[in-house]
Amino acid sequence: MLRERGPEACRVEDVTAEAGTAKGNFYRYFQTWDALLVAVRDHLLDTYRDDLARRYADAGRIDWWSGLDAEIGRFLEFQLDLGGLHQAIFHGPAARAEPSDPSRSAASSVAWFISAGITDGAFAAADVEVTATLLFALLHAAADAILSGTARDRVMQTTLHLAHRMLQPDTASSPDHEHAGTDIRTRTRPDNSTLPQSAP
């Protein structure tokens, strides 16, 4: 419902009716409407992070540049598929609310991917936290451009070009050069936790 109608067109009564519960139960879990949106945001980003973990848990050796292109495409689709939630999650108060755990932020997943690629020698050695923040800003702006009417192919090609330029080592001859690295399951997140294994 929030995806289809957008949070601005929904009320607490709509959410509880959709959930089949009394309105009073809403305030047992969420103090405010914005608190609900923050919880929705965290849940969606957790889902994306878990999907990322499953994609790479058994991947073994990685071509980081192909992986980068694929993840950029997936994250753009993730944002665009939010429908009416996109504005609330990425532009409203929920976007400014810090997650309870820093590892639950979108930038933390980007940082993990960049850090693993740097460790393998595929990406330029850089400040991972700042680079992840800037790359996330690029992906966010790319989704906004598509939603504003810019042709998706134009946005995608430009986003890939800028991301490659951002991560390209000075010594590499081409951003499309293959880098088959070591086992990704040995990689750790910036918070020193290993990437979770996929469920059997």
- Residue 96 pLDDT exceeds 70: yes
* 28: pLDDT strictly greater than 90: no
When pLDDT is averaged across residues 161-173 and rounded to a whole number, the result is 84
pLDDT of 38-47, one tens digit each?
888 888 888 8
More confident residue, 97 or 81: 81
4 shares its domain with 83: no
Domain containing 64 equals 38-186
| Residue 58, phi-psi category: left (phi > 0), alpha (psi -120 to 50), beta (remainder) | alpha
pLDDT at 103 over 80: no
**Residue 54 pLDDT exceeds 70:** yes
Q: Please report whether residue 76 resides in a domain.
A: yes
Number of domains into which the chain is organized: 2
Query: Domain holding 77: CATH number?
Result: 1.10.357
DSSP state of 170: T
Nearest to 179 by CA among 74, 61, 54, 56: 61
* Interval 93-107 mean pLDDT: 77
Of 142, 149, 2, 161, which Cα lies nearest the Cα of 83? 2
